[in-house]
Amino acid sequence: MSVVRRRRTPENSKPVSARPRVLSLMASLLTGRGWLFDLYPIRRGMQVWFLPEDGGPIALWERYAPSFYVRGRAATLSRGLSVLRVPATVTRKERVDVWTGRPVPVFEVRVEDPLRYAGVVARLGRWEDDALELFTCDIPLAQRYCYDRGVFPLAWCEWEATAEGELRTLTVRDDPWAVDYLLPPLRVLELKVEGELVNPRHGHRGRLEVSWDGTTRLLDSDDPASLLESLAGVLRQVDPDVILTQWGDAWLLPSLRQLERRHQVRLPWNRDPQAAIPGRRAHSYLSYGRIVRREASQFLAGRWHLDAQNTFLLTETGLEGLLELARLCRMPVQQLARTSTGTAISSLQLLQAHQDGILIPWHKQQPEQFKTADELLTADKGGLVFVPEPGLYGDVAELDFASLYPAIMAKFNISPETLDCPCCPDHRVPELGRHTCRNRRGLVPQVLEPILAKRARLKRLKQTATDAQARQTYDRRQTALKWILVTSFGYLGYKNFVFGRIEAHEAVTAYSRELLLQAKELAEAAGFRLIHAVVDSIWVHKPHVREREVAALADTISHAIGIPLAVEGIYRWLIFPPSRMHPRLGV
């Protein structure tokens, strides 16, 4: 794993001409600046760790009472809170109903002890046969703190705190939408079993290999007490920001913690000595006909634990992509590394809803609408495919729409709450007999538009960068954005997502079919022949075609449709072999 280093001053920050002291005493308050590194709830609020420009990590805390919203009778809510005996404040508020767009009266409940928040929500949600309807109540508290305070992981911040470490002011001098930004140099300690990367749960055993800053040590497991003492010494000496493991969640950390208990040795995993090592249990679930196992998670306090064998984002996008999404989605790095890209895009949608004052339902109550058999056949077609005839083709150009489905959602304002509005019946969706709203900008398009713009900018920077490291960084960041854009379409129709609606999902594919037909007609009008198309890509043929002709076709289609179409390649020859099952069809 590459260590992120500071590169150059970002576009939205002032250059640092001289390094200040990490903390200075001004008017009885300690002041400092650095990167927001880690955060987690504690009894009195939120613990926040910073990596200053100079010196070691700093732990501060802020009083924070997370809230949720309740719709129901005031007397019922009052009885519930009095029985629970939890310090909380209740105020009357107005928030926006996501489906109607109108303000509705609710009660805002602020829980003074964040560690009791989940219990309060669970009890009130079942109170008196579900007499109370709860909203905006199941967002993880560290994530919710970022929403409420306008901060995000790895943000460059300035702060003021008391001598006891209580945050009084926290100011972000950073922008999550910046394409160039400062990142802290991270001290990384790698832990794995010596030898080939074989899952130790399957019988592979060996010495513990510990690596940092070009140094590698092998710790013998024959004497567990000595191993623990040696590892504890390394952790204290290096004091890593990141512990990178192989199978650390499923086997390595649980095994070492078992040895700790047996030999009564405590390893300094956490920088916060008062914190436990929280985590999530392993579980299995059904996905597209497959049973998938998600391993347990082992989180640390004040430093990160990243398991290279239990993370999709770190594997696919590197640390640069993981940190890009942590900043953008306001999710702590350890949690984001172990979750799906769908959770990342849903965090952005929850953030947008929270910023817009929209009530986020706890339990989804939007069933799929009834369709006749004919309506279902029309709506459920999916993307359009033109199957090629088998054979050898010369002078073929491949053109590809950039993030077609997310671009359609943004362009045509497709969002669960904007579909079939009562005010715009003439803004029709092709084939389906549905319509989208012109007057109310949808939640999903609001989220996707800046992501599409940022990814396009990162791709341009990658093409123009002269430094290899910069090209890799831009590429990994745009790849991370690509993954959440890809997932956004699936989550639009996901039955368990609070803002998922299958009818909106079907509207996107209906538009995509119409746009692909328009692209075919424009290509044929320009003298090209369409030989193959798959959802968002077309392959066209023209004898002795030149690059400028293909570029002109891409520009023509882009301007006519309003979604960028890029030239992926021009091939002197291309073969579509016959299908084994259907020889008349090419594959």
Of 362, 383, 411, the residue at which a domain comes to its end is 362
Residues of the chain with pLDDT under 50: 1-23, 25-26
Token pair 């920077």 is found at 461
162: left (phi over 0), alpha (psi -120 to 50) or beta: beta
In this structure, are residues 329 and 349 in contact, taking their beta carbons and an 8 Å threshold?
no
**The model scores a pTM over 0.85:** yes
Alpha helices (runs of H) in 239-298, residue ranges in sequence order: 253-263
Place of tokens 């045509």: 412
Q: Are 352 and 429 in a shared domain?
A: no
Residue 13 in any domain: the answer is: no
pLDDT for the residue numbered 8: 36
What confidence score (pLDDT) does residue 586 get? 86
**Domain stops at, among 250, 275, 302:** 302
Residue 181 lies in a domain: no
At 368 the pLDDT is: 81
Q: What is the pLDDT of residue 219?
A: 92
Q: Cα(417)–Cα(415) distance, rounded to whole angstroms?
A: 6
Tokens 């509207």 locate to: 507
Same domain, 109 and 38: yes
Domain span at 382:
373-576
CATH number of the domain enclosing 430: 3.90.1600.10
Output the six-digit token pair for 355.
């910023």
CA distance 32 to 156: 11
* Angstrom distances, CA of residue 68 to CA of 108, 147, 360: 6, 13, 10
DSSP code, position 223: S
Dist CA 557 CA 521 (whole Å): 10
Give how many domains the chain has, as a whole number. 3
* DSSP state letter for 323: H
Do both 532 and 441 map to the same domain?
Answer: yes
Q: What is the pLDDT of residue 6?
A: 38
- For residues 537 and 422, state if they share a domain: yes
Tell me, yes or no, whether 492 and 401 share the same domain.
yes
Residue 384: CA count within 13 A, CB half-sphere: 21
Q: Do 31 and 105 sit in the same domain of this protein?
A: yes
Distances (CA, A) of 249 to 40, 62, 255, 279: 19, 30, 10, 9
507 located within any domain:
yes
Please check whether residues 454 and 549 belong to one and the same domain. yes
Name the 3-class secondary structure at 376. helix
Same domain, 346 and 388: no
Tell whether 289 and 338 lie within a shared domain.
no
Q: Is residue 534 part of a domain?
A: yes
Strand locations in 288-339, DSSP E? 290-294, 297-298, 304-307
| Widest distance between CA atoms in the chain | 82
Does residue 583 fall inside a structural domain? Answer: no
**542: which 2 tokens?**
């023209």
Looking at the fold, whether 393 and 509 belong to one and the same domain comes out as yes
Conformational region of residue 442, where left means phi above 0, alpha means psi within -120 to 50, and beta covers everything else: beta
Q: Given the structure tokens 């250059």, which residue do they identify?
A: 15
Report helix angle 502-525 to 547-561, nearest 10.
Answer: 140
In a domain, 581, yes or no: no
Closest CA to 306 of 362, 248, 357, 346: 248
151: domain CATH number is: 3.30.342.10
What per-residue confidence (pLDDT) applies to 288?
63
- Shortest CA distance to 58 belongs to which of 29, 27, 37, 28? 37
> Bridge-partner residues for 400, per DSSP?
537, 566
The answer to whether position 182 is within a domain reads no
Look-up: residue for tokens 């790095």? 333
How many Å from the N-terminal Cα to the C-terminal Cα in the chain? 38
Is position 368 within any domain? no
Question: Domain end: 362, 388, 411, which one?
Answer: 362
User: 325 and 265 in one domain?
Assistant: no
Q: State the DSSP code for 564.
A: -
Whether residues 559 and 457 fall in one domain:
yes
